[in-house]
Chain A
C-alpha cells in the first residue's frame, strides 16, 4: 500500500483552467508557497474561456458604458498584462497600412486585436427597436456609433461576398458600428502563463488528475490517478475556481462540507449553452469587425496577426435556446447567415463545438470554513479572459 506523501503549502488552488494559474502567478509573486491541483488530466482542456466579450445584453438596464470601457483593447491589456510573464502584442487595422508597424514584435506572443463591434438586425423586425435604443444610448454616452444600412453595412460584415448582389436584398439589413474592442489569443496566453508558472512552482506543485478530496483543519488529502495518496498541509487557504467543468466537483464538495450553501450555489448562475461553429470562407474574411446578428456572433478567426486580407475561417458563436445541440434551428440560423447575409452559395463546416458558459447572478466569492480551514469558491472564472484576470486579481487581494 502506498504511503501518503506529505507536503506543505500556503495556498492550495483547485481548478481546471487559466484562473488558478493566474492566481498562482500573483500569489507566488508575493512570496507565498502555492500548490495547484487540477481534477482534469490537463490544463488545456477547459473550454469556457473566451477571447472576447460576447456582449449578450439581456437587460435593458445594462450599464453599456461600463461594459464598453471594460472591453477596450487598452483595458484588456491592463487586465491581462499584470499576471502574464511575457509580452502581449497589440494589432489594429492601421498596422496593415504601415510597413514598419510590425517591427520589434514577438510574433509568437498572445495578440490583442482591435476590432470594431457591429450590431445588425433585419429591417422591420422587432429587434430594430432594441438596436435603436442601444445605438442611442451609445450615442448619448459619447461612443460615436455609426448607423449603417444596406451595402455600406453589408460590406463591413465579416465574410460578406459581393457575388450576385443584384439577387440579394441587401437593403433589408440595418445596424450600427460600435467602438473597437479587444480580443486575445486564449490558447497562447494560457500556454505562456502555464509554462512560466510550472517553471516557477516546479512540477511537484502542479498536480493533475487529482480526485477524492478530504479537507480538514490541517489540510487536504487526495489521490492522483496513479493511486498515490498525497496530504497537503495548508497554512492559509484553499480556493476552488468555479468553471462549468468544475461544477460537479464543487457540488460534491459542498454536499460533503457545506450542504446549507448548496442553495446559494445553485442560485448564483444560469447555464448558457453555445455552439461554436468554425466555417470556411472561399475568400479571405475582413478581420477588422466582430459582428452580432440575430443571436449570432461572427468574426474572422485565427491566432496572432491576420495575414493580408484576413483569415479564411470565420467563427460563429450561437446561443442555444432549447439546450438542444445541433438541432434544426442551429443549422437554419447558420445557413441563413451564409446564404442570405454573406451571399455564399455553399459553405464548409470545419468544426462545431458545444461550449457552456455561466451567466452570473452573483460574482462575489463564496467563503466558508472546512473543518477549520479557510476555503473560498471563486466565482466567474469563465467567460472573457480579461474578466477572469480582473476577478482573480480581486480574489487575491481578498486573501492577502
Chain B
C-alpha cells in the first residue's frame, strides 16, 4: 500500500467514462493556481474504490492501480464526480432489457446492429432527451420517436430543442408509466396511463433519459466536511450538450471558490480572478435556473403563429427587421436566454453579438448590415435554430435555407413539404439549390435553399420530402451489419455473433439480454452482468466475443418490478417500512432497509428509492451524499 497526503482530491465515481471531464480540469486548475496540492483519480488506469470520511473534515481515498497496488490518499477536501443514472420510479417490468439508460442506448446506437423500429420511447423531456430523439430521427435510426412526460403539456427542455425535435417528426405523450412487457425479443409493449385511460405503444425499446427531478448539481455533505458530490454530466459522447457544459463550467468555479475560501490561505491574484469568475458563474447558474422555471413556448392559432408570438418574433433583436431582396440574412430565433454563444463565436463578420443584460439574461443581436448570410451560425448551432432568409415583400415567393435530414440527398427541383415550428404541414414547395452539402451519417446536416411563399417566411421552419424515395426495400434494411460474425455457444445453443464485441452487446443483438445487462458499463463497477464464460465467471460488459467460447447465464433473470433488484426489495415493502418507521430524513433509510445496499451499491435504485421515500412524506430536500465504502464490490485476491 502506498500512502500520500494531498489538499484536494477529485475522484471519479462509478461509471464515469471520460476522465478528467472539462469541469474537473477547470476546478483543478483553479485550485492548483491558488497553491493547493490537487490530484485527480479515475480513468482506466486508476480505479477509485471509495472514500472514507474522517471525523470533522476531509477523508481517505482508496485507489487501485493497474498493478492492483492500493494507494491510500488522505485529503483535506474530496470532490466525488458522479454520473447518476436517470431511471423512472419502478413500475411493473421496468428492470428489463426493454428499458435502458441513455448511456447504454447511445452505446447500442453506435456499436450494435439493432433495429429501432417501429417506435422508440424516450422517458423524459429534458434537453438530453430531446437531443437524443432528434439525433435518432435525423440519422434515420428510428422513424418514430416519442418523448414521454408525466406532467401534461410540460416539456422540460429548451424551446429550441423542442422545436427541433418536433420539426424532425418527434412527438410528445403525457402520462404515467404503467407496465412494460416483452412481446418478442425485439418488441416491447409499453402501457401508459393518461387522461383518457390506458394507451398502449409497441416499442423497440424504452430509453430512460429524464430528468425525473431537479438536479442539485453539487452538494457538500455533511456541511463543513469539505466532502463534495458533484453531479457532472460532461461526457465525451455529449459534446453538443450545451446546457451540461455550461453547468459544469459554472459549477467548477463555484466549487473552486468554496474550496479556496477554506483551504488556500494566500491565493492573492487568483482569488481576485476567481471572484470575477464566480460572479459570472453565479449569473449563469441563475439564468439557467430561471430559464427552467419559465419555459418559453410559441403560441399557435391553428397552424399559424398567434399575433402575440408573431410580435415576439419580429420584435426580437436577433431577427432581421428589414428583409432585403437578394441578400441573405440570418434570423437568430433563440428567444429564451440560453446564452450558449455558439453562433456568436462562429460568425466570421461579428454580425451576431450576444449581450448580457443587468438581470443576467442574454439576448442575441443581429447587425443586419454585417451579416453576409454565410450560414456558419446555422452550422454551429447545436439546435440548428438560425434560419437564413432571402425575403422579398414585393414578390409572392421568398427563399429560406433549411436543413433536411433524409439519407438520400435531394436535388434541385425536388418537391418538399414545408413544416411549421410544431412539425405540422403548411405547404408544398421545391428545392431551389444546394446550400451546403453534408453527411447525415456523421450528423452533418445538408442545407438546402427552398422556395417559400413570402407570407410564410416567419412560419416555415422545417421540411420533409414528398413521396419519400425507396431508400430501403423493407424495414430489415434499416438494420446495419457491423463486422464479421463467429460461432459461439450461448446456453448450449450455437449462435453467430460479431467478433470482438462485448458479450452484453451480443446478447442485446440476439434478443437474449438479461435485465442485468442494461448498464453495459465497461468497467464492471456494478458487478451485475456476471456471466459464465468457458467455466470462468466474468463480466459481460467488459469481456469480448471470440470464436468457440461457451457462454452460460449464472442465474435466471426475469424482468422485475422490484425497487431494488439486487436485494429484492419491492416498492410495497419499502413503502411499508417508511410508513412504519417514519424516519425524518432519507439518510436514515440506509440502516432500515436493504434497498440500495446490494451488489450494485445503489447504482440502479438509489434515485428511485429517494423518490419513493419522498412519496411517503420523508424529507428529501436535504438529501445526503452516500459516502459508504466501497462504491462497488471490491474483490481482493490471494
| A81 contacts the other chain (CB 8 A) | no
Residue of A326, A345, A354 near B637 (CB, 8 A) is A345
Q: In the bound complex, do residue A351 and residue B588 qualify as a contact, i.e. CB atoms below 8 Å apart? A: no
Residues of the A chain whose Cβ atoms lie less than 8 Å from the Cβ of B638: 335, 338-339, 344-346
| A348 contacts the other chain (CB 8 A) | yes
| B52 contacts the other chain (CB 8 A) | yes
Q: In the bound complex, do residue A194 and residue B581 qualify as a contact, i.e. CB atoms below 8 Å apart? A: yes
Q: In the bound complex, do residue A187 and residue B629 qualify as a contact, i.e. CB atoms below 8 Å apart? A: no
Q: In the bound complex, do residue A41 and residue B587 qualify as a contact, i.e. CB atoms below 8 Å apart? A: yes
**Which of chain A's residues 152-194 have a Cβ closer than 8 Å to chain B?**
187, 191, 194
A208-B584, A327-B72, A338-B636 known, 19 other contacts, Cβ within 8 Å: A41-B584, A41-B587, A42-B583, A42-B584, A44-B581, A44-B588, A44-B589, A44-B592, A325-B52, A326-B52, A326-B60, A345-B637, A345-B638, A347-B635, A348-B633, A349-B630, A350-B597, A352-B52, A356-B55
Q: In the bound complex, do residue A331 and residue B1 qualify as a contact, i.e. CB atoms below 8 Å apart? A: yes
Residue of A45, A331, A356 near B587 (CB, 8 A) is A45
Contacts A327-B72, A351-B630, A352-B629 given; indicate if A335 touches B1 (C-beta within 8 A): no
Number of interface residues of B (CB under 8 A): 32
| A280 contacts the other chain (CB 8 A) | yes
Q: Whose C-beta in chain A lies nearest to the C-beta of B54?
A: A325
Q: Whose C-beta in chain A lies nearest to the C-beta of B624?
A: A41
| A195 contacts the other chain (CB 8 A) | yes
Residues of the A chain whose Cβ atoms lie less than 8 Å from the Cβ of B622: 41
| A11 contacts the other chain (CB 8 A) | no
In the assembled complex, the Cα of A339 lies from the Cα of B581 at a distance in Å of 40
In the assembled complex, the Cα of A325 lies from the Cα of B635 at a distance in Å of 19
| B580 contacts the other chain (CB 8 A) | yes
Rounded to whole Å, the gap between the CB of B53 and the closest CB of chain A is 8
Q: Please encode chain B, from 61 to 92, with 1 for each CB lying within 8 Å of some chain A CB and 0 for all others.
A: 01000000010100000000000000000000
Rounded to whole Å, the gap between the CB of B624 and the closest CB of chain A is 9
Rounded to whole Å, the gap between the CB of B445 and the closest CB of chain A is 49
Residues of the A chain whose Cβ atoms lie less than 8 Å from the Cβ of B589: 44
Q: Please encode chain A, from 320 to 347, with 1 for each CB lying within 8 Å of some chain B CB and 0 for all others.
A: 0000011110010001001100001111
Point out residues on B near A: beta carbons under 8 Å. 1, 3, 52, 54-55, 60, 62, 70, 72, 580-585, 587-592, 597, 622, 628-630, 633-638
Rounded to whole Å, the gap between the CB of B380 and the closest CB of chain A is 48
Q: In the bound complex, do residue B584 and residue A328 qualify as a contact, i.e. CB atoms below 8 Å apart? A: no
Residue contacts A-B, CB under 8 angstroms, 13 given:
A44-B583, A44-B589, A45-B588, A47-B591, A191-B581, A209-B584, A325-B60, A326-B60, A338-B638, A346-B638, A348-B633, A348-B634, A348-B635
Q: Whose C-beta in chain B lies nearest to the C-beta of A41?
A: B585
Q: Whose C-beta in chain B lies nearest to the C-beta of A339?
A: B638
Residue of A191, A335, A347, A353 near B629 (CB, 8 A) is A353
**Which of chain A's residues 332-380 have a Cβ closer than 8 Å to chain B?**
335, 338-339, 344-354, 356
| A43 contacts the other chain (CB 8 A) | yes
| A198 contacts the other chain (CB 8 A) | yes
Residues of the B chain whose Cβ atoms lie less than 8 Å from the Cβ of A45: 587-588, 591
Residue of A208, A352, A354, A356 near B630 (CB, 8 A) is A352
Rounded to whole Å, the gap between the CB of A181 and the closest CB of chain B is 23
Rounded to whole Å, the gap between the CB of A38 and the closest CB of chain B is 9
Q: In the bound complex, do residue A198 and residue B584 qualify as a contact, i.e. CB atoms below 8 Å apart? A: no
Residues of the B chain whose Cβ atoms lie less than 8 Å from the Cβ of A356: 55
Main secondary structure of the interface of B (DSSP, over half): mixed
Q: In the bound complex, do residue B635 and residue A346 qualify as a contact, i.e. CB atoms below 8 Å apart? A: yes
Residues of the B chain whose Cβ atoms lie less than 8 Å from the Cβ of A198: 582
Rounded to whole Å, the gap between the CB of B486 and the closest CB of chain A is 31
In the assembled complex, the Cα of A117 lies from the Cα of B3 at a distance in Å of 36
Q: In the bound complex, do residue B628 and residue A42 qualify as a contact, i.e. CB atoms below 8 Å apart? A: no
In the assembled complex, the Cα of A352 lies from the Cα of B52 at a distance in Å of 8
Residue of B72, B580, B635 near A195 (CB, 8 A) is B580
Total A-B residue contacts, Cβ distance less than 8 Å: 91
In the assembled complex, the Cα of A328 lies from the Cα of B104 at a distance in Å of 38
Q: Whose C-beta in chain B lies nearest to the C-beta of A344?
A: B638
Residues of the B chain whose Cβ atoms lie less than 8 Å from the Cβ of A208: 584
Rounded to whole Å, the gap between the CB of B530 and the closest CB of chain A is 11
Residues of the B chain whose Cβ atoms lie less than 8 Å from the Cβ of A354: 52
Main secondary structure of the interface of A (DSSP, over half): mixed
Rounded to whole Å, the gap between the CB of A200 and the closest CB of chain B is 14
Residues of the A chain whose Cβ atoms lie less than 8 Å from the Cβ of B580: 191, 195
In the assembled complex, the Cα of A209 lies from the Cα of B628 at a distance in Å of 22
Rounded to whole Å, the gap between the CB of B455 and the closest CB of chain A is 59
The 8 closest A-B pairs by CB, nearest first: A44-B588, A42-B588, A339-B638, A349-B634, A328-B1, A346-B637, A42-B584, A41-B585
Residues of the A chain whose Cβ atoms lie less than 8 Å from the Cβ of B591: 44-45, 47, 187
Q: Please encode chain A, from 284 to 305, with 1 for each CB lying within 8 Å of some chain B CB and 0 for all others.
A: 0000000000000000000000
Rounded to whole Å, the gap between the CB of A216 and the closest CB of chain B is 28
Residues of the A chain whose Cβ atoms lie less than 8 Å from the Cβ of B629: 326, 351-353
In the assembled complex, the Cα of A45 lies from the Cα of B634 at a distance in Å of 25
Q: In the bound complex, do residue B1 and residue A350 qualify as a contact, i.e. CB atoms below 8 Å apart? A: no
Rounded to whole Å, the gap between the CB of A224 and the closest CB of chain B is 11
Contacts A344-B638, A346-B637 given; indicate if A195 touches B54 (C-beta within 8 A): no
Rounded to whole Å, the gap between the CB of B265 and the closest CB of chain A is 25
Rounded to whole Å, the gap between the CB of B422 and the closest CB of chain A is 45
Residues of the B chain whose Cβ atoms lie less than 8 Å from the Cβ of A327: 1, 3, 72
Residues of the A chain whose Cβ atoms lie less than 8 Å from the Cβ of B72: 326-328
Rounded to whole Å, the gap between the CB of A287 and the closest CB of chain B is 18
Residues of the A chain whose Cβ atoms lie less than 8 Å from the Cβ of B585: 41-42
Rounded to whole Å, the gap between the CB of B482 and the closest CB of chain A is 35
Q: Please encode chain A, from 26 to 42, with 1 for each CB lying within 8 Å of some chain B CB and 0 for all others.
A: 00000000000000011
Residues of the B chain whose Cβ atoms lie less than 8 Å from the Cβ of A328: 1, 3, 72
Residues of the A chain whose Cβ atoms lie less than 8 Å from the Cβ of B634: 348-349
Q: In the bound complex, do residue A351 and residue B628 qualify as a contact, i.e. CB atoms below 8 Å apart? A: yes
Q: Whose C-beta in chain A lies nearest to the C-beta of B598?
A: A350
Q: In the bound complex, do residue A326 and residue B62 qualify as a contact, i.e. CB atoms below 8 Å apart? A: yes
Residue of A191, A326, A347 near B636 (CB, 8 A) is A347
Q: Whose C-beta in chain A lies nearest to the C-beta of B633?
A: A348
Q: Please encode chain A, from 41 to 58, with 1 for each CB lying within 8 Å of some chain B CB and 0 for all others.
A: 111110100000000000
Contacts A327-B72, A338-B636 given; indicate if A43 touches B588 (C-beta within 8 A): yes
Of A41, A187, A356, most B-chain CB atoms within 10 Å:
A41
In the assembled complex, the Cα of A44 lies from the Cα of B613 at a distance in Å of 15
Residues of the B chain whose Cβ atoms lie less than 8 Å from the Cβ of A353: 628-629
Residues of the A chain whose Cβ atoms lie less than 8 Å from the Cβ of B584: 41-43, 208-209
Residues of the A chain whose Cβ atoms lie less than 8 Å from the Cβ of B1: 327-328, 331
Residues of the A chain whose Cβ atoms lie less than 8 Å from the Cβ of B54: 325
Q: Whose C-beta in chain A lies nearest to the C-beta of B527?
A: A348
Rounded to whole Å, the gap between the CB of B625 and the closest CB of chain A is 14
Residues of the A chain whose Cβ atoms lie less than 8 Å from the Cβ of B55: 356
Residues of the A chain whose Cβ atoms lie less than 8 Å from the Cβ of B3: 327-328
In the assembled complex, the Cα of A22 lies from the Cα of B156 at a distance in Å of 49
Residues of the A chain whose Cβ atoms lie less than 8 Å from the Cβ of B62: 326
Residues of the A chain whose Cβ atoms lie less than 8 Å from the Cβ of B590: 44
Rounded to whole Å, the gap between the CB of A108 and the closest CB of chain B is 9
Rounded to whole Å, the gap between the CB of A18 and the closest CB of chain B is 12
In the assembled complex, the Cα of A349 lies from the Cα of B638 at a distance in Å of 14
Residues of the B chain whose Cβ atoms lie less than 8 Å from the Cβ of A326: 52, 60, 62, 72, 629
Residues of the B chain whose Cβ atoms lie less than 8 Å from the Cβ of A191: 580-581, 592
Q: Whose C-beta in chain A lies nearest to the C-beta of B599?
A: A350
In the assembled complex, the Cα of A198 lies from the Cα of B52 at a distance in Å of 33
Residues of the B chain whose Cβ atoms lie less than 8 Å from the Cβ of A280: 633
Rounded to whole Å, the gap between the CB of A374 and the closest CB of chain B is 29
Rounded to whole Å, the gap between the CB of B10 and the closest CB of chain A is 20
Residues of the A chain whose Cβ atoms lie less than 8 Å from the Cβ of B588: 41-45
In the assembled complex, the Cα of A191 lies from the Cα of B582 at a distance in Å of 9
Q: Whose C-beta in chain A lies nearest to the C-beta of B222?
A: A41
Q: Whose C-beta in chain B lies nearest to the C-beta of A208?
A: B584
In the assembled complex, the Cα of A399 lies from the Cα of B422 at a distance in Å of 75
Residues of the B chain whose Cβ atoms lie less than 8 Å from the Cβ of A346: 635-638
